[in-house]
Each structure stands twice: as structure tokens, then as C-alpha cells.
Amino acid sequence: MVTVTLRHGDLSVAVLPEEIDYANARLIGAQCEYLVRHGCRTLILDASRARLLDSSAIGMLVRLLRITGEYRGCLRIAGLGTYYRSVFEVLGIDKVFSLFPTAQAAARGTVSPTDAHENAHEHGTIHRTETQQG
């Protein structure tokens, strides 16, 4: 299950669970899709708690990216751990998704020097961030 922690206008922040796999990816995707189909144009997925993302989770994220695009919105992923950032890089999907160090940075659509510093302190590295025009 996702937990929506913020809804402001057409922006929603949804916190992903610790594990997203074959058993729950469809339900999580459906919950996020519901938000998009009911007015959310900027969907921020806070992945800071996520410890397990299997191929079903990646597929769900790709589907959500397509759906948000169909609604002329954008999908932003925040707080993705170092391991899964490297998985995204190996798969080449780090260039497809808008990745942010924090949900706050994702809400702004940019990374401030403070966010970059905090992220470097937490994870031992500064991650590349892209923004997606929506």
C-alpha cells in the first residue's frame, strides 16, 4: 500500500512501502494510477523506505511513467537508495525517470545546494538529478 502524505493542488506525494514485488506491485500501481486519473499531474513517489524493488516494481514504475505522460503530468521518484540508483543506471532507466534526493526537492522540481549537501551526507555521494518538463 502507498501512503499519500501530501496533496496540494495537482501535486501528490505517495510514500512507497519497504517492499514492492510481484505480490503487491499491481495494487501499488493501481493506487498511484487512481491518483493520476483523478487530477494528480505531479506524482512524487517517495522511495526512501524502499528496500526491495523487483522487476515487477520496475515494470509498475514504467507503466506509471506512461500513464502520467498520457495525462500530461510527470512522475518524480524521490529518495531512491544508492543500490537502486545503480540498478537504474545499469538498466539505462535513470535517464527516463526524474530522480530526486528528497521529496521536498522533487516538489520544487530542482535540487538546492542544501538538498545536495544533505543527500551527500546521508548517502556518501551526490546523485545526478534530472527534471522532466510536464
Count Cβ atoms below 10 Å from residue 104 Cβ, excluding itself.
Answer: 17
Does 102 map to a domain? Answer: yes
Please give the average per-residue pLDDT across 108-131, as a whole number.
47
Which domain range does residue 69 map to? 3-123
d(CA 128, CA 32): 25
Would 132 be classed as within a structural domain? Answer: no
- CATH number of the structural domain spanning residue 16: 3.30.750.24
Buried b / exposed e across 38-64, counting CB within 10 Å, b at 16+? Answer: eebbbbbbbbeebeebeebbbebbeeb
Domain-embedded: residue 130: no
Q: What is the pLDDT of residue 111?
A: 59
Return the percentage of the chain with pLDDT > 70, whole number: 81
64-110 pLDDT tens trace: 999 999 999 999 999 999 999 999 999 999 999 999 999 999 999 86
pLDDT of residue 110: 66
Q: Residue 61 domain-assigned?
A: yes
Domains of the chain: total:
1
CA distance 99 to 106: 8
pLDDT at 48 over 60: yes
Within a domain: 129? no
